Amino acid sequence: MGIVSAFELLAKYHSIFLLGLRNTLILTATAFSIGFALGITIAVLREFGPKPIRHLLAAYVEIIRGTPMLLQLFIVYYALPAIGIVLPPIAAAILGMGLNSGAYQSEYYRAAIRAIPRGQYEAALSLGMTTRQLIEVLAIPMAVRIAFPSMVNELVYLLKYSSIAYFLTVIELTYAGKIVGAETFQYLEVYTIIAIIYFALSMAIVRFCKFVESRIRVPGLGAPEATRGLI
Amino acid sequence: MSGEILRVDNLWKSYSETPVLRGVSFEVLRGEVKVIMGPSGSGKSTLLRCINLLVRPDKGRISLEGKEVFPKPYDSIHRIRQKIGFVFQSYNLFLHMTVLDNVRVGLIKVKKLSKEEATKRAMEALRIVGIGPELWNKYPAQLSGGQQQRVAIARAIAMEPTIMLMDEPTSALDPELVGEVLNVIRDLAKQKMTMLIVTHELDFALEVADEIMVLDGGKIVERGKPSEILNNPKHPRTRRFIERLRRRVEHGHR
Ligand SMILES: Nc1ncnc2c1ncn2[C@@H]1O[C@H](COP(=O)(O)OP(=O)(O)OP(=O)(O)O)[C@@H](O)[C@H]1O
Ligand SMILES: [Mg+2]
């Protein structure tokens, strides 16, 4: 192996690497977004919604967390057609990962909603806010700030686990590596390249999120600034 | 229309069998300032919270401007709360909002004012409590306790409530910051704002209160003109309580 042959590989098979990269980014970004919307909705309904809905959503979260994500993807891709829902591989992967991430994300937001000091809710109520107004003005904006570090973890996690879309025949980064490897038998070079790309993407996400966090950070809320650098 | 803003009749509240309020009755007239005093645990906070329905009473009757609020509210609880300003001991400003947003969020979201109109009113309220423009874009955690409490008062008065309830508005403050908050409340009293204030600031109560009510064990054990209550309390427990407060002031403790 060598650096030269790695670059040669990249040059020769750049279109398939790029396709893999593109699909990995699409999977990660869309699954995270679906998971975010679903997670916030579940969290809010479980904290403020009517009892039967709370129980229903609690059951959903437990089922998702108690079964493998790969199995969930198989159900969406292979089992849903039995009831007439046929999705292309990438759509099935996005949906499956989004439904999965939504369950996990809902737990972060729920914990965050509960971490909002009681006095904040009392202040909102005393101004005459309805539950709906209080959710919009207080619960969601604060919960997102409090849960932000967990959101970054989830995003990096999804980036890496988007590789299981491979099993639904989606040509994402890992699958692209497999294809090039099978053609060239230069598995070491190929998988080293793939690993570096994943690592670079993770670092970029973490960096970017640090920047976003610094923009939405509010003094006195979330990770205390004062302790940074001290520990 | 009578000048009666708030009327509380025979109010009862228990927390799991423990009675906290045991038949409290009083009224507040338009433009009046009434002060509630009483030892810790006597039910002062519970009483104020019952009035704006943050806590549901067990029994009794509450009415606002002659209209029943409890047990049969004449309107939705949210709309009733808009008429009752509440100032908390621990300020409770929205931590993720700037000073200006704290004061105008209620006007925009609850009262549905336009952003311009809400901003205008918020600035006016901030001016009344002496919070200058240099602080409008700061977050609560960047302000002193006294500044935070003044912003909290601005947030409440911007809603133009018919009555203000204040639960020990200065007792979380460092001694040197108490004065600036009391001055704001004094100004409100001069403007004839109707207020029901829980406080143990004796000189302040003597100056602004139309009446002091002493709550003990969930009952109003004594009520009357501030000078009578503070200088010549009839109830022995009240006398001991007020002497204790005096000693605390002399020793500089709060
Ligand atoms: N949510 C609650 N659940 C159970 N008990 C409560 C609750 N809130 C208050 N109490 C109890 O009710 C009693 C009266 O409390 P309250 O806060 O009204 O007293 P207070 O006069 O305001 O006291 P302080 O001067 O310490 O603020 C106390 O014994 C308190 O422990
Ligand atoms: Mg209290």
ipTM score assigned to the predicted complex: 0.94
Does the beta carbon of B20 sit less than 6 angstroms from any atom of ligand 1?
A: yes
What number of H helices and E strands is found in chain A? 10, 0
Please identify which residue in the block is written with the tokens 């309220």: B125
Whole-prediction pTM: 0.91
Average confidence (pLDDT) over A65-80: 96
3-class DSSP assignment, residue A117 = coil
Query: Which residues lie closer than 8 Å to B164 by C-beta, 6 or more apart?
Result: B84, B85, B86, B87, B156, B157, B188, B193, B194, B195, B196, B197
Q: What is the pLDDT of residue A226?
A: 45
Q: What is the CATH number of the domain that holds A164?
A: 1.10.3720.10
Average pLDDT, chain A: 93
Residue span of the structural domain in which A26 resides? 3-216
In a domain, A188, yes or no: yes
Asked, for residue A146, whether it belongs to a domain, the answer is yes
Q: Is the pLDDT of residue B203 over 80?
A: yes
Nearest to B220 by CA among B235, B200, B239: B235
**Calpha distance B172→B181 (Å, rounded):** 11
Nearest atom, ligand 1, residue B47 CA: 18
| Residue B44 near ligand 1, beta carbon < 6 Å | yes
How much is the average pLDDT of B70-98?
Answer: 96
Specify if A222 maps to a domain: no
CA–CA gap between residue B161 and residue A119 (Å, rounded): 20
Report chain B's mean pLDDT, rounded to a whole number: 95
B88–A123 C-beta distance less than 8 A: yes
Would the pLDDT of A136 be above 70? yes
pLDDT of residue A1: 54
Rounded CA gap, A18 and B75, in Å?
62
The string of DSSP letters for A52-113 reads HHHHHHHHHHHHHHTS-HHHHHHIIIIIGGGGT----HHHHHHHHHHHHHHHHHHHHHHHHH
Instruction: Count the domains in chain A.
Output: 1
Selected residues 124-153 of chain A with any CB under 8 Å from a CB in chain B: 124-130, 133, 136-138, 141-142, 145
pLDDT at B21: 97
Mutate to test the pocket of ligand 1, among B46, B90, B215 (most ligand atoms within 8 A of CB): B46
Q: How confident is the model at residue A222 (pLDDT cuts 50, 70, 90)?
A: low
Examine residue A161 and state whether it is found in any structural domain, yes or no: yes
Report the nearest atom of ligand 1 relative to the CA of B49: 18
Q: Is residue A230 part of a domain?
A: no
Residue A153 in domain: yes
Q: Kindly list the protein residues that place their beta carbon closer than 5 angstroms to ligand 2, a single-atom ion.
A: B 45
Q: Which of A126, A133, A220 is closest, CB to CB, to B95? A: A220
Interface test with A, best of B45, B96, B99, B109 (most A CBs within 10 A): B96
Q: How is chain B split among helix, strand and coil, in percent rounded to 5?
A: 40, 25, 35
What are B11-32's pLDDT values in tens digits?
999 999 899 999 999 999 999 9
Residue B45 in contact with ligand 1 by CB distance below 6 A: yes
pLDDT at A227 over 50: no
Fill in the amino acid letter for B158.
A
Q: Is residue A102 part of a domain?
A: yes
**pLDDT score recorded for residue A216:** 86
Structure tokens at A214: 């610094």
User: Is A83 inside any structural domain?
Assistant: yes
Question: What percent of chain A shows pLDDT beyond 90?
Answer: 87
Among A113, A122, A126, the strongest candidate for a mutation testing the B interface, having the largest count of B CBs within 10 A, is A126
Token pair in block for residue A60: 């959903």
